[in-house]
Amino acid sequence: MTDTVPPSRLAMREALALSDEVLRNIELSEIPLARSALKLSRLARLLNDFEHQRIMELEASGYPTTPSGVPTDVYKLAVRAGREYQLKDPKSGKIEKYIYATSIEELELEANSAQAALAAARDPDVSVASANPNQMVWNPSGNALERNTIRTNAAMAQRRLSSRRSFLYAYALRTNHELKFSGIADDIFSRVRERVDRGIGENVPAAVQKLSAVYDNLNSDNAEDWSNAVHSCRRILQDLADSIYPAREDAVVDFAGKPKTIKLGPDNYVNRIIAFLQERSSSTRFQEIVGSHLSYIGERLDSVFQAAQKGSHASVTRDEADRYVVYTYLVVGDVLSLL
């Protein structure tokens, strides 16, 4: 979507159904193309794609012109819609750029009325003769020039109409693919979220209220709430560590032939979760992947927390907060799968 205002999930679901409908309309020629343009205007409005909303309205109604030409903003929209063409001045040889402002409905009318216009312009079935054998007579010149003009104009209208059909179809198809992709991602995360929420409710009940706080903070437009969502993720991981691997004395392990101390105290929640993974999982690869992700998210959550503790304004964007929440969910889901 091209605009900075994100559409709601309800609008995106309606937009997906509408894009499917418009694609079918165009592919099967179910309705006039001008009506498809109006449907695409609604599609763009649902997605807050205000530029394409205006373009689709102009495609249906025609691009306005003034005695001095086409307004600059309108011309730019026409260029975006692929309506620009070039003509060479036969005298100066200079190439000038123009747009055709005709609405789709007018193009459809012109293309569809060509056969009727040709029938009306056919030559009359007459025969001219003279009673004077010495007089030279000629049949009327006919309407050949008029018919050629009709054919030329109809061919031009049909080419432009085909270009409009291609433009509308491309926008509907691109939007449909984007909406389906976002829907797939949303469905995948919804399944993960449902599984993790259920596992947390059964195994880490203390974190349930924190999950609710995460949802509320992410839906806020306040940047401070986004930071609070990140803090909640840190506390969820701490609650998880307390539940599956409570704090205990530090462990000393052999690392490359040398003793190494692994801190397993109350604040060392990442170490404790990794220790749980090592004890429960027989897959070294699983331990490495989940441990790596856990260390990554743990370090970043801690850095935001420490900045807040020092009174620093740790700025967290909504995108960053979204990523931290997703990473936390994935890690928690992997850990809970071992219970």
- Does 194 reside within a domain? no
Residue 156 lies inside a defined structural domain of this protein: yes
Number of neighbours of residue 66 by Cβ within 10 angstroms:
8
Residues 57, 26 share a domain: yes
Question: Are residues 209 and 295 both part of a single domain?
Answer: yes
Long-range contacts of range 65-71, CB-CB < 8 Å, 24 or more positions apart?
65/101, 70/99, 70/101
Same domain, 119 and 246: no
277, 331 contact by CB (below 8 A): no
Pair (168, 234) in one structural domain: no
Long-range Cβ pairs for the range 147-152 (8 Å, 24+): 147/118, 147/121, 147/122, 150/114, 150/117, 150/118, 150/121, 151/114, 151/118
Check residue 21 and give its pLDDT: 96
Question: Total structural domains in the chain?
Answer: 2
Task: Answer yes or no: is 191 within a domain.
Answer: no
Q: For 302-328, write each residue's pLDDT tens digit.
A: 776 666 555 455 567 888 888 888 888
pLDDT of residue 54: 96
- Asked if 39 and 25 touch (Cβ cutoff 8 Å), the reply is yes
Position 35 in a domain: yes
Nearest CA to 8 among 42, 39, 48, 44?
Answer: 48
Query: Is residue 197 in a domain?
Result: no
Whether residues 161 and 294 share a domain: the answer is no
Give yes or no: residues 173 and 37 share one domain.
yes
Return the pLDDT at 192.
Answer: 74
CA distances from 120 to 110, 114, 124, 145 (A): 15, 10, 10, 13
CA 94/CA 77 separation, integer angstroms: 24
Q: Are residues 289 and 252 in the same domain?
A: yes
Say if 137 falls within a structural domain.
no
Low-confidence residues in the chain, pLDDT < 70:
1-6, 117-118, 120-121, 123-132, 134-144, 183-187, 254-256, 304-315
- Same domain for 264 and 320, yes or no, is yes
Structural tokens at position 327: 């990473």
- Examine the domain organization and report whether 217 and 287 are in the same domain: yes
Q: Scanning the structure block, which residue is given the tokens 């203390």? A: 206
Residue 77 shares a structural domain with residue 107:
yes
Threshold 0.85, pTM exceeds: no
* Residue 129 included in any domain: no
DSSP line for 43-62: HHHHTT-HHHHHHHHHHHH-
Predicted local confidence at residue 142, as pLDDT: 61
- pLDDT, position 1: 45
Provide the domain limits for residue 169.
9-123+148-182
Q: Are 116 and 228 contained in the same domain?
A: no
pLDDT of res. 163: 95
Q: Are residues 257 and 162 in the same domain?
A: no
Examine residue 195 and state whether it is found in any structural domain, yes or no. Answer: no
For the stretch 116-129, pLDDT in tens is 766 766 766 655 55
